[in-house]
Amino acid sequence: MNRSLALRPMASATQLVEVIAAALVLAAPLARADEPSAGTGASAPDTLQSTSQVEGRAGGESRGSRDSGLIPGMLIGPRLSVAVPTPTIGAEAKVLRYFGASFDYGYFPKINISGVDVSYSMWNVAARVYPWGDTFFFGVVYGHYGVEATATVAQGSGFVRASSNFVGPQFGARWVQPSGFFIGVDLAWAFPIGYSSEASPDPSGTTASVKETADRYLKNGIPIVGLVSVGWMF
């Protein structure tokens, strides 16, 4: 009787082992079905991540920046620049990562300096090359500027006008975010082409002095400095 009771736990243990083994045999095919196939070598999340990366590169958002917009291989949009000698508004484009172009217009309304009203206007176009296809560029700028000064004194009034086309080198940087927003800086030197000036002397000789000063500095060229440029390229 005691021997029979001793054999019962052993039989129960044997049955339990058999049940566990059967469960493992049945579960093996299910486990293999959940594993990635040998042909793909990637799980479903990995596949989704790879697809997302490919779509990001196709949308021009590789390397943490943006290279393409509404027009494939091209970005273009408006820009505002806090610049010297005058703030400008304009447009900017970047093509195939390595090439760029821009247009700027600046106008400074009349301000009074030592009794002389001075106004300034300027426009320019620029062509650029991004040698590394990323942030930094160099190029050439071409444009036109005009300066007008009017002096009014007790004895009468007179004016001074000076203008010139210009051309010069330019270099700078643009940081374009994946959203298309960008910020940049640039520096150019405008060498005059066909500089001209005229003056209508006032009795005090103020305009003659202004013309002499303008000729002395403007004939050597002027800096065009984009201290901070912000914009959005689509």
Q: pLDDT at residue 58 above 50?
A: no
Read off the tokens for 34. Answer: 């959940």
pLDDT of residue 128: 97
Q: pLDDT at residue 55 above 50?
A: no
**pLDDT tens for residues 64-107?**
578 888 899 999 999 999 999 999 999 999 999 999 999 999 99
pLDDT of residue 201: 77
> Is omega for the bond preceding 85 within 30 degrees of 0, making it cis?
yes
Q: Amino acid letter at 61?
A: E
Stretch 128-140: mean pLDDT, rounded? 96
Question: Which residue in this structure is represented by tokens 């243990």?
Answer: 13
pLDDT of residue 34: 44
Adjacent-strand bridge partners of 191:
167
- Check residues 179 and 38 and name the one with the higher pLDDT: 179
- The CA-CA-CA angle for residues 195, 109, 87, to 5°, reads 80
DSSP string, 87-101: -EEEEEEEETTTEEE
Count of all residues that appear for the chain in the document: 234
Question: Which residue in this structure is represented by tokens 């590789």?
Answer: 62
For the CA atoms of 11, 14, 18, 20, the dihedral, rounded to the nearest 10 degrees, stands at 120
> What distance in Å separates the CA atoms of residue 105 and residue 90, rounded to the nearest whole number?
6
Stretch 160-168: mean pLDDT, rounded? 96
**pLDDT tens for residues 108-119?**
888 887 778 889
> What distance in Å separates the CA atoms of residue 115 and residue 112, rounded to the nearest whole number?
6
> What distance in Å separates the CA atoms of residue 225 and residue 222, rounded to the nearest whole number?
10
What percent of the chain is helix, strand and coil (3-state, nearest 5)? 25, 50, 20
Q: Amino acid letter at 141?
A: V
pLDDT of residue 50: 45
pTM greater than the 0.85 cutoff: no
Q: No. of H helices and E strands in the chain? A: 3, 8
